[in-house]
Amino acid sequence: MNEEEIMNTENRYLANVFSKKPIVLTSGKGAILWDINGKEYVDCASSYGVAALGHCHPRVVEAVKKQAEKLITCHSCYYNDTRAEFIKKLVNITPKGLDKAFLSNSGAESVECAIKLARKATGKSEIIGVMGAYHGKTMGALSLTWDKKYREPFMPLIPDMKHIPPDNVSKLREAITDKTAAVIMEPIRGEGGIRVPPDGYLQDVKEICTKRGILLIFDEVQTSFGRTGKLFACQNWDVTPDVMCLSKPFAGGLPIGITIAREDLMSSFKVGEHSTTYSGSPIVMAAGCAAIDVLVEEKLADKAALNGKYFKAQLEDLMVKHKTIKEIRGLGLMIGMELRCDVYNVIQKILGKGVLVIDAGRTVVRMLPPIVINKPQIDRVITVLNEALGEDENERASNTFSN
Ligand SMILES: Cc1ncc(COP(=O)(O)O)c(C=O)c1O
């Protein structure tokens, strides 16, 4: 199929629920992607944070090939060598005390499991979420996701879910009732605009949860795997939750969801109360083993901290040149550039110039590049951003002039 046929086929036969960009990507290596015409892109999107290791990391490719020849699927009602190896590697790196997991296939599923677990372990029904949060689009996760545009068409959602303003401990104290099972939050809100909490906030939340006997769930689907300069973002503030939701990069690009909790909590699930057919499929587990090995051996968290510092410094220089930039936020390689205008036009221009970024709301350009991105590639991104912002500013100035 040629480029046009590919686009027409997807548009005709797949649900039109994605805001499509007019490119056909066909291959990738590290932080670089190529489209069907051979045009090169620096990837600052990583498929929404999945490709933290870069595209087609050789260790992941090798592990998948090997496992594919051995055993691809194996239901969790049977034991499997690769699954056991993966879970051992995982609990070796998770914060102390979080060592019993349920494996699924996506971020939303990891949240679904956390919701059920919180209700089962506490015998209470209410979960408190945060305004601006994103937890996915299945019915349970959606009930805790904030944006009206995602929620309203599907009302009624599941009961006893409520939202409090972010970074506000008094509102949290007020919201807790006798029915509260847990509070869930992203340590750094991703889709909500790359919002880093003020120092001390997460420690206060933990203290309140402990005092009031409710569970703390961290959704680290976007913030973990070294991206923020620590293996898990909560480690930036030394706060360990009771339950943690993981997903995106943990299987080197293959679909995975992980809900990991204290053993006493996870043990409240009895046989049959939660499951999924693909839980811990050997092929995904093999990719996951390779991914965790690379994460640890190549010290990707340190790399993210270093690359992130360089990237942010370059962006701050850009801010001096472009009044359109309102703020640069983030930790490590989870970076948001808030503009004083809608980002849509700017993102289109950036794409045309060979860089992939994503939005985080109407005014924030979100950058989640592969952690293996190098300095020359970051410099290329900065050049493109500079040009795109300049062109957008000129266009808006001339529109204002002609109006
Ligand atoms: C923090 C967070 N939680 C949950 C999800 C949902 O993950 P998925 O799209 O894999 O269902 C996402 C996806 O972007 C996310 O960023």
At 17-28, the pLDDT tens digits run 999 999 999 999
pLDDT tens digit sequence for 248-302:
999 999 999 999 999 999 999 999 999 999 999 999 999 999 999 999 999 999 9
Peptide linkage before 156 cis (omega within 30 of 0): yes
Q: Which of 112, 194, 222, 228 to mutate to test the pocket of ligand 1 (most atoms within 8 A of CB)?
A: 222
Given a cut of 70, is residue 403 above it in pLDDT? no
Q: What is the mean pLDDT of the chain?
A: 97
Given a cut of 90, is residue 402 above it in pLDDT? no
Confidence of residue 103 (pLDDT cuts 50, 70, 90): very high
Cα–ligand 1 centroid distance for 147 (angstroms): 14
The mean pLDDT of 349-371, rounded to a whole number, is 97
* Nearest of 332, 343, 351, 335 to residue 392 by alpha carbon: 343
What percentage of the chain reaches a pLDDT higher than 90?
98
The Cα–Cα gap between 381 and 347 comes to 12
The Cα–Cα gap between 223 and 227 comes to 6
What percentage of the chain reaches a pLDDT higher than 70?
99
Residues 6 or more apart from 56 whose CB is under 8 A from it? 27, 28, 29, 253
The mean pLDDT of 239-247, rounded to a whole number, is 98
The mean pLDDT of 304-329, rounded to a whole number, is 97
C-beta of 47 in contact with ligand 1 (< 6 A): no
Given a cut of 70, is residue 107 above it in pLDDT? yes
Confidence of residue 401 (pLDDT cuts 50, 70, 90): low
Does the reported pTM lie above 0.85? yes
C-beta of 126 in contact with ligand 1 (< 6 A): no
Domains of the chain from N-terminus onward: 58-297 (3.40.640.10), 299-365+375-403 (3.90.1150.10)
Please count the other Cβ atoms lying within 10 Å of the Cβ belonging to residue 119. 18
Radius of gyration of the chain (CA): 21
Given a cut of 90, is residue 397 above it in pLDDT? no
Cα–ligand 1 centroid distance for 270 (angstroms): 26
The mean pLDDT of 217-234, rounded to a whole number, is 98
Residues 6 or more apart from 193 whose CB is under 8 A from it? 132, 329, 336, 338, 360, 361, 363, 364
Given a cut of 90, is residue 175 above it in pLDDT? yes
Q: Which two tokens stand for residue 309?
A: 């510092």
Q: What is the pLDDT of residue 399?
A: 81
**Region class of 226: left (phi > 0), else alpha (psi between -120 and 50), else beta:** left
The mean pLDDT of 301-316, rounded to a whole number, is 98
Atom of ligand 1 nearest to the CA of 191: 16
The mean pLDDT of 382-397, rounded to a whole number, is 94
Could you tell me the end-to-end alpha-carbon distance of the chain, in angstroms, rounded to an integer? 44
C-beta of 112 in contact with ligand 1 (< 6 A): no
Q: Which two tokens stand for residue 278?
A: 């693909």
The Cα–Cα gap between 220 and 260 comes to 11
Cα–ligand 1 centroid distance for 377 (angstroms): 27
Atom of ligand 1 nearest to the CA of 106: 10
pLDDT tens digit sequence for 158-167:
999 999 999 9
pLDDT tens digit sequence for 31-57:
999 999 999 999 999 999 999 999 999
Residues 6 or more apart from 43 whose CB is under 8 A from it? 28, 31, 32, 33, 51, 55, 356, 369, 370
Q: What is the pLDDT of residue 370?
A: 98
